[in-house]
Structure 1
């Protein structure tokens, strides 16, 4: 427990009955009470906000998310709403000098991400919600690569499945089928996976891709069929700055198959696996390696499932805020990843390999 006062958190997008705030953010914060206190929640209406306040023990409830973002009783604004709503809340919080944790993707497109990154002031700590980068297994794997324990990375193979973007969706996930909303298989499942790949072996400098819509219409439960305009299957062939080559398959509508990342170096290998149905970043990951005496995989909490890697992210952010350092994935990382996704989309639509590191 820190000797400093707890960081006062306001969660934008709290709901007492369902949602990522309920399933992941709230239990993660409860495990880190020495560093954080839940000061406020907001929702679409004051009634829903009051329900969330009572359910989670927050001190205040706001029916207006921008009011929460500007509240003097909040230090850290956590943005856990649909992607098209990120921009307004993030900009309001940054203008008020707040620290911000924003779920990934940062914005609906590269331009929005760039605008928000440019708005970060010197007094604000920001973190983008790429919680897979905070997984203890991933961080231990990064240590193995950076220490030279597996030698020079040669080839990486990744299979990243998710139950999302199948042939059916609940009404509150209908918006994920529209590419214009920025919350797609490419950006969410693809973005989380690409971030880990780059963290391990460096930036992509060349990509070839095929993003496909295998199911053009899906059934929204209770509402009927809607057209899908974003890909539900993604394949990327890449080359990284250090010379490593990689293959990535992101598969939507898949259950019962594990996430698997394999990296071969000229002196050893690494394997990371996970079985969380909503995407690897939402669960505890397992690290295997050929290296003798690998670094320990040490978690901050005993949590499993969706809160586990999020608690690791929050712990890292608290440490940064306390120490005045900046080590967590920030909005500039989000801009770079958004640009990489645009590069991949261009390679797919043009049918041509795209070269040049997206910086």
Structure 2
């Protein structure tokens, strides 16, 4: 498919806050051949404000109407996870290409349903694992595969996030309920696990400990608290199919702990540094090796920083896939595999023993 400009429909646009505002709009404006055609929000007034802020042509109070808009080529799903399924399935039925934020669904059944529907329809889909798709991560994966540090032996990762701490704004309350599928394990953990597998290969087995360190969260500006039913700390040790062993610690509620990703190989080491309060995936990353290796390539939009930088990289590669008929970006089938891994980690923690990972 060749197309000069893709018209984007942003489901979940808000001029005041949200991932569409904080990451997607700067990415879309920085890349050639992309324009915001339509926006949707939970009310018409919020949608109208977003229309003005994002420079859209149309505004909807119903994201399903946006998904069916014939003037939209690609639907970007940036709403809360429990709302993903309905919008994604409507967009697939309308023949749209889809960029959906991670996690794809609340559970494996929802993710599998959406992946199956997308595959049957033949549309292009991308799952928002922008950290694992970042230029730095792809560069690191290539260096490891080319043997720059020899055979990977061990990997240590510490992945902090400000989320799932003692206090947050009220609109983050839903993140504390495990049933919603948007948790420290799925979001901070899922993004990091995707990067780990991108660099050192698939997990063969895992041992995990998911813990609720603080059992409630205070809503900022109030005396109200909400119970936390999802883990706010996660430990995973694993063995990978290539023989590398890894340790991962996902830490919630911290802003002063650096992101750490260090691979030790038979002939050298590789490190990825960066980090962002919202998680490593929301900031620029830098790869260094010993011995020295070629410099990492430039990002698709080198002038961007913060959350939009890695999102722009994924948008650029996704649109190139659509134009060229290739399928190189993380898709819904990748989301299903990652959801299976997270389910195995959950089961390992519950059972207190090592489990094989079956994709």
Give the distance between the partners of 1:200 and 1:162, measured in 2 at CA. Answer: 21
TM superposition shift of 1:122: 4.6
TM-score, scaled relative to structure 2 = 0.97
CA deviation after TM superposition for structure 1 residue 294, in Å: 2.2
Equivalence for 1:102: 100
* SS of equivalent to 1:114: helix
The residue correspondences of 1:334-353 to structure 2 (distance < 5 A) are 334-353=335-354
Distance 2:240 2:170 in 1: 39
Moved more, 176-185 or 121-130: 121-130
Q: Decide which of 31, 36, 39 is 1:38's aligned counterpart.
A: 36
Specify the alignment match of 1:292 in structure 2.
292
1:89 and 2:73 matched: no
List alignment gaps of at least 5 residues for structure 2.
none
Distance in 1 separating the partners of 2:61 and 2:53: 16
Equivalence for 1:308: 309
Q: How far 1:50 sits from its partner (Å)?
A: 0.7
Whether the 8 Å CA contact 2:148–2:293 is kept in 1: the answer is no
User: How far off is 1:139 after superposition?
Assistant: 1.2
Q: After the TM superposition, which segments of 4 or more aligned residues of structure 1 sit over 4 Å from their partners?
A: none
Instruction: Give runs of aligned pairs for residues 46-195 of structure 1, distance below 5 A.
Output: 46-120=44-118, 121-195=120-194
Alpha-carbon deviations, 1:207-255, whole Å to 9, x = none?
0000000000111122601110000000001000101000000000011
Name the CA distance, whole Å, in 2 between partners of 1:263 and 1:143.
Answer: 13
Asked whether the 8 Å contact 1:102–1:128 carries over to 2, the reply is yes
> In the alignment, does 2:316 pair up with 1:318?
no
Residue 224 of structure 1 pairs with residue 232 of structure 2: no
Query: Which deviations, in whole Å up to 9, do the C-alpha atoms of 1:51-98 show, x marking residues without a partner?
Result: 100111101111110010011111100000000000000000011111
Matching residue of 2:265: 265
Q: Is residue 334 of structure 2 the alignment partner of residue 333 of structure 1?
A: yes
SS of the aligned residue for 1:261 comes to: strand
Shift in Å, 1:273 = 1.1
Structure 1 length-normalised TM: 0.97
User: For residues 177 and 348 of structure 1, what CA distance do their matches in structure 2 show?
Assistant: 18
SS at match of 2:137: helix
Superposition map of 1:210-249 within 5 A? 210-221=209-220, 222=222, 224-249=224-249
The answer on whether the counterparts of 1:144 and 1:295 sit within 8 Å (CA) in structure 2 is no
1:7 is aligned to 2:6 = yes
Aligned length in residues = 356
Deviation track 1:101-129 (CA, whole Å, cap 9, x = no partner) reads: 00000000011000000001453100000
Give RMSD over aligned pairs. Answer: 1.3
Does 2:275 match 1:275? yes
Where structure 1 has 5 or more consecutive residues not aligned to the other structure, the ranges are none
CA-CA distance at 1:297 after TM superposition: 3.2
In the alignment, the residues of structure 1 paired with residue 147 and residue 11 of structure 2 have an alpha-carbon distance, to the nearest angstrom, of: 42
